[in-house]
Amino acid sequence: MISKIISHEWLQWRRDSRLKWLAIFLVVISAFALWHQINFQSTLLKKRLKAQEDSRQEWLSQELKHPHMAAHFGNYAYKKPTLLHCFDPGLTIYTGTSVYMEPHKQNDFLFSQSQESDTGIRFGWLSPAMICQLILPLLIILLSFNSINGEYEKGTMALLISQGANFRSVLIAKTASVFLFFEGFITLYLLVTAYCSAVYLGTVIDIYAVLYIWIVYSLYCFIWSLSGVLVSSLIKSSGTSIALLLLLWMFTNIILPRGSANIAENMHPLITNQQFKQLLTASIDKGIDGHDPKNERAKKIEKELLLQYKVDSVQQLPFNFEGFIMQQSEAYSSKVYDHHFNQLFTTLKQQKKIQSLFGIISPYISLRNISMAAANASLETEIDFQQQAEHYRRSFVQNMNNDMKDNSAYGSFKTYRVRKDKYASIGDLQVQNRTMQWSIPTLFIEHISLLLWVLFLMILLFISNQKKVYN
Amino acid sequence: MNPIIELKNVFKNYGDKQVLKGINLTINAGQIIGYIGSNGAGKSTTVKILCGLIADYEGTVTVAGINLSDNPIEAKRKIGYIPELAELYDVLTPMEFLSLMGELYDLPTDIATDRIIKMLTAFGLENNIHQRMDTFSKGMKQKVLIISGLLHNPDIIILDEPLSGLDANSVIIVKDLISKLAKDGKTIFYCSHMMDVVEKVSDRIIFINEGMVIADGSFLELQQQQGNESLEKIFALMTAKEGSNQAASAIMQAFDSQ
C-alpha cells in the first residue's frame, strides 16, 4: 500500500509543471556547483603541482650557501585534495591548502584568509555540500509542506483513508516519497562528485568516506522529510505550514549557525592575528634571540657548555657554537609557539564544542561539521595539517642547523657552505590526509544530535498518527 | 438476519461540543437507508465514523460483523464511500486515479482496468479515460468519484450527496444504479438534503437531529406518525425550531429595518 501511494505521489509530481521547473533548477545549480568546484580545485591543483615542482627545482639549483641561509630559502607544504574535497571544501576556503615554512617563523594560516582563495572566498560557498545542506531542505519543504494538510484541504484524504489506506500508511508513504526522491538525488550527486574528483583531481577513492557521508546526508534528508510531513500533519492550513517550515529552516540553517558562532566567540574570544604575533614576539624576545648569542639565555647556555666540556671558550668546543645556539633558539621559539598555539587550539576547540552543542537544535550545524571532517577540511584536520607542516619545518630547520653545528667552525658564518648533496637529501613534506576513521571520534555530539533529531521527529509523527485520523 | 451495520451507543465530541449523543442503529443487508439531518446534526460525523475517517469515538461500530476499531482496514474493504464533491487528483487521468483506488483495495490490475473502462463508458466518459481531470466539469468529477466508491464491488455503499453537480441523465443513472445495487443485495446508506430523491429511493429513512436519532422507519411509517405530508414537511416538523415560513419572514424583515 505504501509503495502504491509513493508511486502515485511521484506520478502527480511528474505532472506538476512547477515541480519540473524545480527539478531543472536543482539539476542546473547542482551541476554548476560541481563544475565550479572541480574547475577551481583542478586549477588549484595544477598551480600547486607546478609551484611544488618549481620550488623543488629552485631549492636544488640554488647556489651553495650557509645552511642557515639556505634554510631561509624556505619550503612549501601542500595539502592534497581528498575524494570529497570537491563536494565540501570546508575550512580550506579560509585556511588554504599550502603553507610556507622557514626558520623562526611558525605559520599562522589558521588566522588568515587563504591567499589562494580569491575565487574560493567569492564563490567557494557554492559547493555540492552547500546545495545539499541549504538548498535541499528548501526543496524538501516545497514538496512536503502540504503533503498531509493539502489532502485534507482538497478532501482527497477522505478518499485515501476510506478506500483502504490507513493514516499511518499515508504518513509513512508521504515521508518516504519525499525522502526517496531526494535520496536518489543525493546518491547520484555524491557518486558523480566522487567520480569527477577521482578523474579530474586524481584523488584516492575512499569508499568508506563516500558511504559514511552518504549515510549522514541521508539522515539529514530524512530529518527534513519528516519535519515537512510532520508539520503538514499537525497544522491544518498549508499556508501556515509552509510559513512555519520556512521559519524553521531560517532558524536552524541561517540564524543558529551564525548565532552559535557569535555566542562561541563571546564565550571564548579569539585574539587577532596581530595580537597573536605580538604575543609570540614578546615571549621570544624575553628569551633567546637566535641571532644574538650575547643575551642572557645565550650566556647561560654558553657557560653551561664551557663547564660541561671543560673548555675556556666557545671556539674550543667540539662543534660550532653558533650552530648549536641557533638550534637552541629555534627550539625555544618552538616551545613558545607550542605554548601559545595550544592555547589557540584550545580556544578554537572550545568554540567548536559550543557550536557542536548547538547542533542538538540545528541538524545543519551537525551535518556541516561531519561533512567537513569527511572531506578532510574540518577544524581538527586543518590543525592536524598545520601540525604536520610545523613538525616538518622543525626537522628541516634542525637538519640545516645541525649541519652548521657539526660541519662548520665558529666564526665561519660568512664563509661556510653546505655540501653539494645537502639540498637533495632534504625531501618535500608528504602531507598525510586523515581518514574518516581519524575524524569520527571528534564528532560524537554531531552523530548523537542527528540521531536524536530522527528519533524525536519519529516520535512526534507517531503521536500525530495516534491523535489524528480524520477530523 | 444478521445486521450488516451496527452502531451501539456511539458518542463523538469535537472539543467540548458533543456531536453524537448515543447513536444506536441496526441496518440489515440489502436495505436502502436515507440518512437525513440538518447541518451540524451529526450526519457527516456518522458517515466519517462508518468510513473509518474518525477513530476516536465512543461506542461500538460493527461492519459486516467486523468491529471497526479492531480491524478498520478489513471493515473498510466492505464499504464503498462516495463523498460529496471531493477534489480529485486533478493532474491525473480517470484511469490513473481509479487504478490507484483499485490498488488500494488490492484489486487485480486486469479486473480493475476492465471495470474502470466499463463504468466510465456507462457514465459517458469513454472519451475522457486518458484525459487529465483538471479539465473536467464538476459533474464529470462526481461521476469518477462514484466509480471509485463502487470499483471494488463493496457490500455497503455510503453516498454523501452523490447527485451534487450531476446532469439530469446522470442523476437518473445513479438513481437506477442505487435500486439495482440494492436488488443485488448491497446495502445503501444514502445521505442527502434532496428529500424527494430520498423519499423515492429509500426503503428506510432515519432522521438525525442534534446528535440523536429522532425518527426511524419507512416513508409510509413516518407519514403515519406525522400525517400525510411530504418527507420535506415531515423533516421540517420534526427538526425546525421555527417554521420555515417564519424563518423566511425573519430574513425579509432584516431588509425592512434598513
pLDDT (tens digit per residue) in B19-46: 888 889 888 888 888 888 887 888 888 8
- With 50 as the cut, is the pLDDT of residue A288 above it? no
Q: Do B86 and A163 touch (CB under 8 A)?
A: no
Q: Which residue has the cell 572541480?
A: A38
- With 90 as the cut, is the pLDDT of residue A28 above it? yes
pLDDT (tens digit per residue) in B110-161: 999 999 999 898 888 888 889 998 888 877 888 888 888 888 888 898 988 7
Contacts of A8 in chain B (CB under 8 A): 89, 96, 100
Distance between the two ends of chain B, CA-based, in angstroms? 61
CB pairs under 8 A between A and B: 79
H-assigned helices in B131-243: 138-150, 168-183, 195-201, 219-226, 231-239
Give the per-residue pLDDT at B161: 78
Q: How many CB atoms lie within 10 A of CB A385?
A: 27
Model confidence at A363, in pLDDT bands (50, 70, 90)? very high
Q: Check if the beta carbon of residue A165 is closer than 8 Å to that of residue A5.
A: yes
Average confidence (pLDDT) over B102-109: 87
- With 80 as the cut, is the pLDDT of residue B208 above it? yes
Nearest CA in chain B to A12: B91
Give the per-residue pLDDT at A290: 44
Residue among A12, A156, A165 whose CB faces B104 most closely? A165
Average confidence (pLDDT) over B53-76: 86
Q: What distance in Å separates residue A134's CA from the closest CA in chain B?
A: 30
Q: DSSP label at A427?
A: P
Least confident segment among A84-98, A234-248, B51-65: A84-98
Cell of A343: 592555547
Q: DSSP label at A315?
A: G
| Relative orientation angle of helices B231-239 and B219-226, to the nearest 10 degrees | 60
Give the per-residue pLDDT at A114: 46
Q: Do A8 and B89 touch (CB under 8 A)?
A: yes
* Beta carbons within 8 Å of A376's beta carbon, 6+ residues apart: A79, A82, A84, A85, A90, A433, A434, A439
Residue A243 lies inside a defined structural domain of this protein: yes
CA geometry: angle A183, A451, A219, nearest 5 deg: 10
Q: Which residue has the cell 506520478?
A: A11
Cell of A257: 549557525
pLDDT (tens digit per residue) in A81-91: 777 778 887 77
Model confidence at A32, in pLDDT bands (50, 70, 90)? very high
Model confidence at A169, in pLDDT bands (50, 70, 90)? confident
Q: Do A470 and B54 touch (CB under 8 A)?
A: yes
Q: Which residue has the cell 465512543?
A: B58
pLDDT (tens digit per residue) in A127-164: 899 999 999 999 999 989 988 888 888 878 888 888 77
Q: Do B148 and A159 touch (CB under 8 A)?
A: yes
In a 10 Å sphere around its CB, with 0-12 CB exposed, 13-18 middle and 19+ buried, how is residue A439 labelled? buried
Contacts of A470 in chain B (CB under 8 A): 48, 53-55
Give the per-residue pLDDT at A224: 96
**CA A127 to CA A372: how far, in whole Å?**
12
- With 70 as the cut, is the pLDDT of residue A443 above it? yes
**CA B124 to CA B174: how far, in whole Å?**
13
Q: DSSP label at A102?
A: B
- With 90 as the cut, is the pLDDT of residue A39 above it? no
**CA A365 to CA A370: how far, in whole Å?**
9
More confident residue, B181 or A33: A33
Residue in A2, A4, A156, A159 to test binding to B, most B beta-carbons within 10 Å: A159
Q: Check if the beta carbon of residue A328 is closer than 8 Å to that of residue A401.
A: no
Residue A34 lies inside a defined structural domain of this protein: yes
Average confidence (pLDDT) over A461-469: 70
Q: Does A47 touch chain B (CB under 8 A)?
A: no
Q: Do B91 and A165 touch (CB under 8 A)?
A: no
Residue A122 lies inside a defined structural domain of this protein: yes
**ipTM for the assembly:** 0.76
Q: Check if the beta carbon of residue B139 is closer than 8 Å to that of residue B170.
A: yes
Q: Which of residues 186-215 of B touch A (CB under 8 A)?
A: none
Domains and CATH numbers, chain B: 3-252 (3.40.50.300)
Number of compact structural domains in chain A = 1
Q: What distance in Å separates residue B216's CA from the closest CA in chain A?
A: 26
* Beta carbons within 8 Å of B54's beta carbon, 6+ residues apart: A469, A470, A471, B12, B45, B48
- With 90 as the cut, is the pLDDT of residue A92 above it? no
Model confidence at A217, in pLDDT bands (50, 70, 90)? very high
Q: Does B254 touch chain A (CB under 8 A)?
A: no
Least confident segment among A115-129, A212-226, B76-90: A115-129
- With 90 as the cut, is the pLDDT of residue A247 above it? yes
Q: Check if the beta carbon of residue A305 is closer than 8 Å to that of residue A314.
A: yes
Average confidence (pLDDT) over B1-16: 85
Residue A28 lies inside a defined structural domain of this protein: yes
Nearest CA in chain B to A467: B56
**CA B107 to CA B9: how far, in whole Å?**
34
Report CA A290 to chain centroid distance, whole Å: 36
Residue A105 lies inside a defined structural domain of this protein: yes
- Phi/psi for B172 (5° steps) reads -65, -40
Average confidence (pLDDT) over A93-120: 59
* Domain that includes residue A156, residue range: 2-288+335-467
* Beta carbons within 8 Å of B133's beta carbon, 6+ residues apart: B88, B89, B90, B91, B92, B93, B94, B97, B140, B141, B144
* Beta carbons within 8 Å of A80's beta carbon, 6+ residues apart: A203, A431, A433
**CA B109 to CA A399: how far, in whole Å?**
81
**CA A97 to CA A85: how far, in whole Å?**
11
**CA A322 to CA A315: how far, in whole Å?**
10
Q: Do A4 and B100 touch (CB under 8 A)?
A: yes
- With 60 as the cut, is the pLDDT of residue A470 above it? no
**CA A64 to CA A418: how far, in whole Å?**
6
pLDDT (tens digit per residue) in A444-455: 999 999 999 999
Model confidence at A456, in pLDDT bands (50, 70, 90)? very high
pLDDT (tens digit per residue) in A399-423: 877 777 777 777 776 777 777 777 7
Residue among A11, A160, A469 whose CB faces B55 most closely? A469
Amino acid at A159: L
Give the per-residue pLDDT at A366: 92
Grouping H, G, I as helix, E, B as strand and the rest as coil, residue B69 is: coil
Model confidence at A293, in pLDDT bands (50, 70, 90)? very low
For chain A, give the mean pLDDT: 81
Residue among B14, B79, B86 whose CB faces A158 most closely? B86
**CA B97 to CA A371: how far, in whole Å?**
42
Average confidence (pLDDT) over B74-87: 80
Give the per-residue pLDDT at A123: 47
